[in-house]
C-alpha cells in the first residue's frame, strides 16, 4: 500500500472512531510518525495534507527540518537526553516525553536562551513496564506542580505509550485512566499549565485511544509502513 492509500485508510478509521465516541473529528490531530523514514516519504505525506510529524531522535529532527522548506511542524515524541535539548529550540513545537525534573530544567534553560515557551507533555508509564520511560501514575500531580513553575515550559497534558499488544482492547484501561488523570489535572488549574492535550494511541491501538479521549494520535507504521 502507498503512503497515500495508508493515509486514506487511517483517516477513515479516525473518523469512524470519532463517530463511535460522539466526538468531532477536529478534536483529534494525527501526528505522522516519520522516524527512520526518508525525507521523500515525509514529502509524499505532505502532498496528502500532513503537516505534523513525530520524531524520536534529535539529530533526525535537525536533518529533516533543514531539508524540508515548507511550513511543517515537528513533535519530539521519543525519550530525550538532557545533553540534546540544546538543539531543539526553533525546531519543535512540542515535547511529549518529559518525565524528569532535571530534563524539565534543561528545557527551561535552553528555551529561555531563545526567549521562547515550549509546550510539553508529561510521559506516564501507565502499565508500569520496566522497559519504558515515564512517570509512575502516582507521581504525576506533584511532578506537574513542580515543572509548572518553569516559565519557558507550558504543560499541556499527558502522553503514554501503551504496552505492545495484539489486542488493542487490552489497552483501553490505560487510555481511560490517563484521560481521567488529565481531566483531574485540568480541574486543578495550576498556574503555568493549560491542560487540554492527551497524546495516546499508535498504529495498533489509536482507534481505542480516540474512543477514550485522545487529542493526538501518533501513527507511524500505519502510514509509512514497517520500519
Ligand X SMILES: *Cc1c(COP(=O)(O)O)cnc(C)c1O
Query: Judged by CB under 6 A, which of 37, 156, 182, 218 binds ligand X?
Result: 218
| Contact predicate 199/214, CB 8 Å | yes
**Which stretch, 20-28, 38-46, 62-70, 197-205, contacts ligand X (CB under 6 A)?**
197-205
156 vs 218, beta carbon nearer ligand X: 218
Applying the rule CB under 6 A, the residues between 23 and 42 that interact with ligand X are 33, 35
Size of the site for ligand X (CB under 6 A): 14
Number of helices (H), then strands (E), belonging to the chain: the values are 8, 8
Rounded Cα–Cα distance for residues 179 and 112 (Å): 31
Nearest approach, Cβ of 203 to ligand X (angstroms)?
3
Query: Judged by CB under 6 A, which of 77, 103, 121, 135 binds ligand X?
Result: 77
Rounded Cα–Cα distance for residues 176 and 187 (Å): 17
Report if residue 56 touches ligand X, rule: CB under 6 A. Answer: yes
- Collapsed DSSP state (helix, strand, coil) of residue 3: helix
| Contact predicate 121/114, CB 8 Å | no
Q: Which three cell numbers stand for residue 64?
A: 529533516
- Collapsed DSSP state (helix, strand, coil) of residue 190: coil
Binding mask 122-161 for ligand X (x = CB under 6 A): ---------------------------------------x
DSSP 90: T
Footprint on this chain of ligand X (rule: CB under 6 A): 33, 35, 56, 77-78, 161, 202-204, 218-222
Amino acid at each position: 500500500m502507498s503512503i497515500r492509500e495508508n493515509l486514506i485508510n487511517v483517516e477513515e478509521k479516525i473518523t469512524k472512531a470519532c463517530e463511535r465516541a460522539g466526538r468531532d473529528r477536529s478534536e483529534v490531530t494525527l501526528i505522522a510518525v516519520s522516524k527512520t523514514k526518508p525525507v521523500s516519504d515525509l514529502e509524499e505525506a505532505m502532498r496528502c495534507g500532513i503537516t505534523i510529524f513525530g520524531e524520536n531522535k534529535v539529530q533526525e529532527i535537525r536533518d529533516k527540518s533543514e531539508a524540508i522548506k515548507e511550513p511543517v511542524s515537528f513533535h519530539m515524541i521519543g525519550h530525550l537526553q538532557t545533553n540534546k535539548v540544546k538543539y531543539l529550540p526553533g525546531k519543535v513545537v512540542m515535547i511529549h516525553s518529559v518525565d524528569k525534573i532535571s530534563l524539565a530544567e534543561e528545557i527551561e534553560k535552553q528555551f529561555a536562551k531563545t526567549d521562547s515557551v515550549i509546550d510539553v507533555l508529561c510521559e506516564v508509564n501507565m502499565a508500569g513496564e520496566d522497559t519504558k520511560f515515564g512517570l509512575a501514575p502516582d507521581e504525576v500531580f506533584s511532578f506537574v506542580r513542580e515543572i509548572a513553575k518553569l516559565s519557558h515550559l507550558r504543560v499541556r497534558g499527558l502522553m503514554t505509550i501503551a504496552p505492545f499488544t495484539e489486542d488493542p482492547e487490552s489497552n483501553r484501561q490505560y487510555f481511560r485512566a490517563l484521560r481521567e488523570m488529565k481531566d483531574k489535572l485540568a480541574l486543578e488549574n495550576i498556574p503555568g499549565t493549560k491542560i487540554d492535550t492527551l497524546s495516546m494511541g499508535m498504529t495498533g491501538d489509536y482507534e481505542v485511544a480516540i474512543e477514550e479521549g485522545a487529542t493526538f494520535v501518533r501513527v507511524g507504521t500505519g502510514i509509512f509502513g514497517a520500519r
